[in-house]
Amino acid sequence: MNKKYGICSKILVVVLMFTSLLMGCKSGGTKTTKEEVKVSIPKENATVVEDIQQAEKIFNALPSPLESAMLIKSAGARFDESLLNPIGNVNSYVTNKSMALNLGIYTCDLSFASLYEQTQLIIDYMNAAKKMADGLGILKAIEQSQIDKLEENINNSEVIMEIVSETFMNSNSYLSDNGQPAIAAMVLVGGWFEGLYISTQLVDLKEFNGNKLVGRIIDQKLSIDILLNLLESSKGNPAVDDLIFQVKKLKVVFDKISITTSKIRPEFDKVSNMTVLKSEVKTDMTPEVFRELSVTVSEIRKTFVNN
């Protein structure tokens, strides 16, 4: 009896450890060992709680492809179809890495086309993104019903953005919830690079000083460490290790840009009914550094889209 009880206890411990491992894998977060729970816990629940406590999360949030495209548009940039990854490339992506990166890239292109009301391109790029999501085995990321809804509302930008946002969330939540944080990170990396590539290509060097788009590109320096931390949490995966190497090359160039910020002062604005985080910022990027940045981004992006 005692022997059986012992075996059962061991199985229970294994099962609980397995559960906590799965819980810890979700959401692309990083496991930490910090423990802050101060509530009193009954002895019999102590092991379970101890495991769950270790599932504390750190999220490294990159701008989504939709946000990246929105930033380009808000800077007053023009639309240029030739900068997008041609949908003809879609069949050449067969590895998980290339499909993940290009899911991010095509979603960014789709968002870019949506914001500039490029109706036919919206459908084409949604189908390209669907092909990548399907290839990665992401169930129900982009359903035919959503493509139909997109076609029915092709002139309604609000509905289109809603669909783009929803389909992207379906993909990244599926990957996070199914223990694929490395793939989820690669999707975000693809989208972020595409936004940066399009931005750098749209800058006219004759209008460099005071160019709003240049300001947006400088802002991306603030995300480079977030990007690295996101990838570092899946370190050891060969595809991710390659990306870390490439991002570190880009960081070397970003490190040549200086950003100095004053202390942030939160002030409530009664007119807009929101808090304004006031601060002054000084940035410095020479046209030479911009050229170097542009070339580096372009080279890295080439390795993503040319497979």
**Binding of residue 306 to other proteins (CB under 8 A):** no
Near other proteins by CB under 8 A: residue from 13, 37, 94, 205: 37
Q: Which is nearer to other proteins, 56 or 117 (CB)?
A: 56
Q: What are residue 275's phi and psi, to 5 degrees?
A: -85, 135
How would you class 147 by CB atoms within 10 Å of its CB: exposed for 0-12, middle for 13-18, buried for 19 or more?
Answer: middle
Query: Within 183-222, which residues bind other proteins (CB under 8 A)?
Result: 188, 216, 219-220, 222
**Binding of residue 235 to other proteins (CB under 8 A):** no
**Binding of residue 13 to other proteins (CB under 8 A):** no
Are the C-beta atoms of residues 32 and 24 closer than 8 Å to each other? no
Count of beta carbons in the 10 Å neighbourhood of residue 236: 8
Report the half-sphere exposure of 92 (CA within 13 A, side-chain side). 11
Near other proteins by CB under 8 A: residue from 66, 84, 99, 253: 66
Q: Which is nearer to other proteins, 278 or 302 (CB)?
A: 278
Near other proteins by CB under 8 A: residue from 2, 5, 36, 145: 36
Q: Report how far residue 234's alpha carbon sits from residue 128's, in angstroms, rounded to the nearest whole number.
A: 26
**Binding of residue 18 to other proteins (CB under 8 A):** yes
Q: Report how far residue 298's alpha carbon sits from residue 83's, in angstroms, rounded to the nearest whole number.
A: 11
Q: Report how far residue 247's alpha carbon sits from residue 62's, in angstroms, rounded to the nearest whole number.
A: 14
Nearest approach, Cβ of 241 to other proteins (angstroms)?
22
Instruction: Give me the count of residues in the chain.
Output: 307
Q: Which is nearer to other proteins, 8 or 295 (CB)?
A: 8
Q: Which part of the chain contacts other proteins (CB under 8 A), choosing from 12-20, 146-154, 196-204, 234-242?
A: 12-20
Q: Report how far residue 93's alpha carbon sits from residue 101's, in angstroms, rounded to the nearest whole number.
A: 10
Q: Report how far residue 302's alpha carbon sits from residue 227's, in angstroms, rounded to the nearest whole number.
A: 19
Near other proteins by CB under 8 A: residue from 144, 266, 270, 288: 266
Q: Report how far residue 7's alpha carbon sits from residue 12's, in angstroms, rounded to the nearest whole number.
A: 9
Nearest approach, Cβ of 268 to other proteins (angstroms)?
10
Q: Which is nearer to other proteins, 55 or 154 (CB)?
A: 55
**Binding of residue 233 to other proteins (CB under 8 A):** no
Near other proteins by CB under 8 A: residue from 1, 5, 33, 39: 39
Q: Which is nearer to other proteins, 134 or 219 (CB)?
A: 219
What are the CA-CA distances from residue 195 to residues 2, 137, 262, 272 (Å)? 63, 25, 27, 29
Query: Within 270-289, which residues bind other proteins (CB under 8 A)?
Result: 272-281
Q: Which part of the chain contacts other proteins (CB under 8 A), choosing from 54-62, 123-131, 250-258, 286-294?
A: 54-62
**Binding of residue 264 to other proteins (CB under 8 A):** yes
Q: Report how far residue 238's alpha carbon sits from residue 99's, in angstroms, rounded to the nearest whole number.
A: 15
Near other proteins by CB under 8 A: residue from 90, 101, 141, 164: 164
At position 91, the amino acid (one-letter code) is N
Residues whose CB falls within 8 Å of the CB of residue 302, separated by 6 or more in sequence, listed in order: none
How would you classify the pairing of strands 281-284 and 274-278?
Answer: unpaired
Nearest approach, Cβ of 238 to other proteins (angstroms)?
26
Q: Which part of the chain contacts other proteins (CB under 8 A), choosing from 59-67, 85-93, 143-151, 289-297?
A: 59-67
Query: Within 121-160, which residues bind other proteins (CB under 8 A)?
Result: none
